[in-house]
Amino acid sequence: MTRLLVVLTFIGIAYWYWSEPYQNSLNTPPADDPKKNAAIMAQCIAQENFAIEDGARDPGENAEEVCADENGFMKMYGKWYHR
């Protein structure tokens, strides 16, 4: 009977650990925040467009591509994410 109680206690603790702490560690929010990345890209694109208008950059350059390369972003589903 005590062996059964020990096994059930062990199973209960294992289930609790698997359902709470372990699962919560898997559901951590991604460090990649699309809103923050969009703000970074908007500022970079504005600076690049100013540089193009100012003559510091080649007018044939695409400001969005330049900023994406500089910041290591890619556009997916209309939002900016790190590569």
- Amino acid occupying residue 44: C
Tens digits of residue pLDDT in 45-83: 999 999 888 888 888 889 999 999 999 999 988 888 888
Bridge partner residues of 74 (DSSP): 81
Domain spans of the chain? 1-28, 34-82
Residues 6+ apart with CB under 8 A from 80: 34, 37, 38, 40, 41, 68, 73, 74
Tell me the C-alpha distance between 43 and 37, whole Å: 10
Tell me the C-alpha distance between 42 and 80, whole Å: 11
Instruction: Judge if pTM exceeds 0.75.
Output: no
Local confidence band at 25 (pLDDT 50, 70, 90 cut-offs): low
